[in-house]
Amino acid sequence: MEQLKTFFLEKSVKNVLDVGSGIGDFVKILNDVFGNGAKIVGTDPGDQWLIEARKRFSQDNISFERMNGEKLNFEDNSFDVVSISNALHHLKDIGETFAEMKRVLKPNGWIIVNEISDGELNKAQENQRMLHHFKSFVDRLHGITHSETYTPDQVLEIVTGNGVDVQLSFPHEKMKNPNFDELFLDEKIAQMESLLEELQGRPEYEKMESILPDFKERLNKYGFQMATQLMIVGQFK
Ligand SMILES: C[S@@+](CC[C@H](N)C(=O)[O-])C[C@H]1O[C@@H](n2cnc3c(N)ncnc32)[C@H](O)[C@@H]1O
């Protein structure tokens, strides 16, 4: 992640907090950017993600703790950098989470927000959005907070609206090209099928079932690629 490395080149970063770390995909990027001496703490409310993340990272400088972004169990002024990646659309309360991230940041600390966005997507990225919106729909039916993909403008509005002075922003491609690997695409189909299964017996089933054949056809034709992410770096005012 050269842009982040260049941005933080002359800045002293001793510790980093990643909110909503999942299995640690963004922790990997943070370790590449700051790993040379910096301590990185990933946090997530989901036990299944924490177990997976702890298996993936054995380095002494990386640890994971269970918590929600809305209530961070850290002292005020604890971290040089706080990040949140692809988790904004999962938050119950975005304002509270930003307030918490600000509280645990040291004065003049840095915030990094990375978020998949619904901007100019190619056909393979539209397939990722289709699956994401399917999943978020099913989660919402179960009462789980999960918004659809925000546009780049919405992401920027959320960040600036919560008091961040943006100093760097750029698009970030987690996957550079569409993936046509058969096993990979089968996995995506299985994900949608399993989500559909959860809707059995509900009035929404029929409407959602009609999406599956189109999704399969589109996957064969265009492949699957993560939507472009918007990376933002700033400081709280
Ligand atoms: C799509 S994953 C992103 C994982 C990782 N940060 C990445 O960029 O790949 C979203 C994560 O947000 C977590 N999450 C859900 N609700 C949350 C909350 N209230 N506070 C913090 N994280 C939350 C989920 O458990 C999930 O691991």
108 is a domain residue: yes
Map 144-188 to HEC letters: CCCCCCECHHHHHHHHHHCCEEEEEEEEECCCCCCECCHHHHHHH
For the segment 46-63, the average pLDDT, to the nearest whole number, is: 95
152 within domain boundaries: no
Question: Does residue 205 carry a pLDDT above 90?
Answer: yes
Residue 35 pLDDT more than 90?
A: no
Establish whether residue 178 lines the binding site of ligand 1, counting it when its CB lies within 6 angstroms of any ligand atom: no
Q: Which domain holds residue 89?
A: 1-116
Residue 94 sits in a domain of what CATH number? 3.40.50.150
pLDDT per position as a tens digit, 91-102: 999 999 999 999
Whether 139 is in the pocket of ligand 1, judged by its Cβ within 6 Å, is: no
pLDDT tens, residue by residue, 134-156? 999 999 999 999 999 999 999 99
Residue 195 domain flag: no
Counting the structural domains of the chain, the total is 1
Enter the pTM of the model. 0.95
The helix (H) or strand (E) run that includes residue 190 is helix 182-197
Residue 11 forms part of a structural domain: yes
Helix 211-222 vs helix 182-197: angle between axes, to the nearest 10 degrees?
A: 170
- Ligand 1, atom 23, lies closest to the CA of 20
Q: Does residue 197 sit within a domain?
A: no
Residue 144 lies in a domain: no
Pocket test for ligand 1, best of 23, 44, 93, 150 (most atoms within 8 A of CB): 44
Q: Tell me, yes or no, whether 196 lies in a domain.
A: no
For ligand 1, whether the C-beta of 208 sits within 6 Å is no
Please report whether residue 15 resides in a domain: yes
